[in-house]
Amino acid sequence: MAEKCDYIANMYGYDLGCRFINFRPLGFGANGLVLSAVDSKSCRKVAVKKIAISDAQSMKHAFREIKIIRRLDHDNIVKVYEVLGPKGADLQGDLFKFNMVYVIQEYMETDLARLLEQGPLSEEHAKLFMYQLLRGLKYIHSANVLHRDLKPANIFINTEDLVLKIGDFGLARVVDQHYSHKGYLSEGLVTKWYRSPRLLLSPNNYTKAIDMWAAGCILAEMLTGKMLFAGSHELEQMQLILETIPVFREEDKEELLKVMPTLVSSTWTVKKPLRKLLPEVDSQGVAAAPSFIQRTLFTKPIQNIDQHLSLIEMFSQPPVKTMSV
């Protein structure tokens, strides 16, 4: 029983037998609670995510997340060691007989959200982390996976070696780039502050560009220490975006006129250009930042591999040695 092995595990309803010890709370993922622990078998510290399976919907979500994380293997993606059932049972590919599964994954020291609570990052650290984030995204997108919930809390960092890894694929989806998914991908969308206009306007129809939009917002936040667009609700979020981001495509303008006719006219122009909204970015001299943010935040989608590569090259640089937390 878990209670005989670890009090914290028992308190949070974890039942993995006695293999894992020294449980400590870490946080919540999209689909479940996460604790840190020590794997007595391998003697390494791990993060353990508990996913409850109570009905057909939660079963579908769990199956989808596990299927995705098992196929991803990259330096900038949080590594999953194994997926276990209650009492540490081997799943053997069968989720249907369990009401709880545990994802045993790589332990990371902190996340970007916690780092940003201390203020903006230095130019060197922002560039290094952005380079790694884009490498991870390129890999994810080349596997036809959309993360869909990219935000600082889901970007994990070890401050000693300055390694960044993307984690929490609880809302991720596998997509076919040659097939329209309209109407099939609507539930559980990304946190609204990192949500693109395409998601705000048409949540049932989106592409890899939504992750790139979130990446642009995250870069701005790393350099300024504050969220780029922090609306209190979806309408205000869209208003803040439209004050800054130009709309080039006629189809987007027509859609905006239908949805927000009182806010958008045929002669609409931006009121607060990006460079005025982010004076700190220019003053820091991060040469790649304004160009990257503009390319990811303009409504013309960035979603193919060649575009990913050109953006990654913007942030190529010698490694920074360390950082304080």
Q: If phi over 0 gives left and psi between -120 and 50 gives alpha, with beta otherwise, what is residue 226?
A: beta
Tens-place pLDDT, residues 47-59? 999 998 888 888 8
Tens-place pLDDT, residues 244-279? 877 666 776 776 777 676 666 666 677 777 777 777
pLDDT score for 185? 46
Q: What is the mean pLDDT of residues 124-144?
A: 92
The catalytic position among 6, 111, 149, 211 is 149
Residue 219: name the closest of 313, 107, 109, 132 by CA. Answer: 132
pLDDT score for 20? 94
Identify the top-confidence range among 6-15, 32-41, 206-215, 240-249: 32-41
CA dihedral sign of residues 108, 112, 117, 120: positive
Provide the whole-model pTM. Answer: 0.84
Domains and CATH numbers, the chain: 9-106 (3.30.200.20), 110-314 (1.10.510.10)
211 is catalytic: no
- Band of the pLDDT at 203, cuts 50, 70, 90? low
- DSSP class of residue 90 equals B
Q: Residues comprising the binding site for ATP?
A: 50
The answer on pLDDT for 183 being more than 50 is no
pLDDT score for 14? 92
Q: Residues comprising the binding site?
A: 50
Residues 6+ apart with CB under 8 A from 28: 34
Q: What is the mean pLDDT of residues 119-133?
A: 91
Q: Which of 163-177, 219-233, 284-298 has the lowest mean pLDDT?
A: 284-298
Tens-place pLDDT, residues 216-229? 899 989 988 999 88
Identify the top-confidence range among 60-64, 105-109, 121-125, 268-272: 105-109
Identify the top-confidence range among 47-56, 91-100, 120-129, 160-169: 160-169
Taking CA atoms, 194 is separated from 94, 119, 153, 324, in Å, by 35, 19, 12, 27
Tens-place pLDDT, residues 294-322? 667 665 554 444 555 566 666 665 555 55
The answer on pLDDT for 325 being more than 80 is no
Question: Phi and psi of 137, rounded to 5°?
Answer: -65, -40
pLDDT score for 141? 92
Tens-place pLDDT, residues 76-103? 999 999 999 999 888 766 666 788 899 9
Identify the top-confidence range among 7-11, 270-274, 286-290, 308-312: 7-11
The answer on pLDDT for 180 being more than 60 is no
